[in-house]
Amino acid sequence: DGGITQSPKYLFRKEGQNVTLSCEQNLNHDAMYWYRQDPGQGLRLIYYSQIVNDFQKGDIAEGYSVSREKKESFPLTVTSAQKNPTAFYLCASNPTGVHEKLFFGSGTQLSVL
């Protein structure tokens, strides 16, 4: 079945540690996105990529980094510079960009130890 796979489902980070969240899609979509959701809040865009080897900052990119070396994969690294990383992280994709509906992965809950 086609879809978006995020892993792990739960992740714990120690102070000063970088962690990487995985996102893989087999939908052949060009565009991929990372969102952060805090309790009771909407989704906020961290980074997005519309094509391989290219990505753009979203509204809250500070303390995060991404890469897009393959069309199927868009990993997100939460660096030690992100001082409040505890949140629910959602990866999404759509065929070509912002005028189309988003398909979401099942999310990763990141918590700080």
Partner 1 sequence: RKEVEQDPGPFNVPEGATVAFNCTYSNSASQSFFWYRQDCRKEPKLLMSVYSSGNEDGRFTAQLNRASQYISLLIRDSKLSDSATYLCVVNIAYSGAGSYQLTFGKGTKLSVIP
Residues that bind partner 1 (CB under 8 A): 33, 35, 40-45, 58, 88, 90, 97-102, 104-107, 109
- Give Cβ neighbours of residue 39 (< 8 Å, ≥ 6 apart): none
The answer to whether residues 2 and 93 touch, using CB atoms and an 8 Å cutoff, is no
What the block records as the tokens of 57 is: 């900052």
Residue closer to partner 1, measured from CB, 7 or 106: 106
CB of 107 to partner 1, least distance (A): 5
CA 61-55-95 angle, to 5 degrees, is: 115
Residue closer to partner 1, measured from CB, 16 or 39: 39
Q: What is the DSSP letter of 70?
A: B
Q: Is residue 92 classed exposed, middle or buried when 0-12, 13-18 and 19+ CB atoms within 10 A define those classes?
A: buried
Residue closer to partner 1, measured from CB, 62 or 100: 100
CB of 80 to partner 1, least distance (A): 26
CB of 15 to partner 1, least distance (A): 25
CB of 4 to partner 1, least distance (A): 9
Residue closer to partner 1, measured from CB, 16 or 40: 40
